[in-house]
Chain A
Amino acid sequence: DAKTTQPNSMESNEEEPVHLPCNHSTISGTDYIHWYRQLPSQGPEYVIHGLTSNVNNRMASLAIAEDRKSSTLILHRATLRDAAVYYCILRDVRSGGGADGLTFGKGTHLIIQP
């Protein structure tokens, strides 16, 4: 899987929007962009994924650059419960058998100030 680059940490205030960036300059045309987050003392949790178009769900929005070399996870109104490590991961749709292992980096540690 292609590599992603994320800031080590970010800080935001409660009830404000948060934009978490991810660079993936070597992304291929068949890579999906996935985001997971890991709250303290828990396993990772799926947040959102997309291929080319921007995506929205109840947890977040995913904005994908036109050239797909970067993306941004948007939390529209952060709460203290959003404090977690956020991972940006690329998954090749052609991967053998489909459900292959995820390649996690160190992610972005998001700190929410009350």
Chain B
Amino acid sequence: DAGVTQSPTHLIKTRGQQVTLRCSPKSGHDTVSWYQQALGQGPQFIFQYYEEEERQRGNFPDRFSGHQFPNYSSELNVNALLLGDSALYLCASSTRNRGREKLFFGSGTQLSVL
């Protein structure tokens, strides 16, 4: 059983460009969340998708958007990239269960903005 898979593993972009990151959740999971992790910091919650809709959002600007597909996979899009967007982007999947569910994380996409 494959866990959470993310692609690509590494990406280099320049300021002002747009980027799309992809995530396939663990088999049986229907909820996908995205996190940004800057160097030396803990992951920060970006948003969560369930039933193809954004259900909750962290403190991130509208440049960050996402999508969830009928097969539960998800994409994270970032427009007008800034140098400060350089980070590890993590995808986590889970099932809906109040407060008790485990999140399973992928290994992330390392984004470098030059």
Point out residues on A near B: beta carbons under 8 Å: 30-32, 36, 41-46, 49, 85, 87, 91-107
Of the candidates A31, A32, A41, the one whose C-beta lies within 8 Å of that of B107 is A41
Cβ-defined contact, B105 with A30, below 8 A: no
Cβ-defined contact, A49 with B100, below 8 A: yes
What residue in chain B is nearest A87 (Cβ atoms)? B42
Of the candidates A42, A99, A104, the one whose C-beta lies within 8 Å of that of B97 is A99
How many B residues touch the partner, as a band? 35 or more
CB within 8 Å for A91 and B56 given contacts A43-B108, A106-B42 = no
Cβ-defined contact, A99 with B101, below 8 A: yes
Tell me, in angstroms, the Cα distance from A73 to B99 when the chains sit together: 19
Closest-CB distance, B111 to chain A (whole angstroms): 15
Which residues of the partner chain A approach B102 to less than 8 Å between Cβ atoms? 46, 49
